[in-house]
Amino acid sequence: MSDGDEFEIDPRAFLAPADGEPADHESARSSSAEGIASLERMERELIDVEDALVRLDEGRYGVCDACGAEILDARLAEHPTERRCEDHRTTDASTDAARGGSTGDSTSNP
């Protein structure tokens, strides 16, 4: 009656690997690495937000770091911490949909 193995919780059960991946120690390590990666991403976003707040305070919010052009409102709505205009944005945007556009007339400053 002292055998409680059935009720013992295996921590690996919570590290559910993606379908098709072998449930060995290697995958357990990589899922915690994923957690760290997402934490690092969140930390970077937090830094971005703080940076945006500073720029907002200094009246530089929504202005391109590289050329001083105004960043589109639509872009800011989607990425409030954006600090580059369409032309100078080099973040890890895998989709380069803005390519081939013919909008290069934002030279007028108020």
- CB 110 → Zn ion: shortest distance, Å? 17
The neighbouring-strand residues paired with 63 are 70
Question: Taking CB under 5 A as the rule, does residue 85 contact Zn ion?
Answer: yes
Alpha helices in 1-110, H assignment, sequence order: 25-57, 73-78
Residue 92, CA distances (Å) to 42, 78, 89, 95 in order: 15, 15, 9, 9
Please identify, among the stretches 1-9, 20-28, 66-74, 102-110, the one whose residues bind Zn ion according to the rule CB under 5 A: 66-74
Among 67, 80, 93, 98, binds Zn ion (CB under 5 A): 67
The residues that touch Zn ion, with contacts defined as CB under 5 A, are: 64, 66-67, 69, 85, 87-88
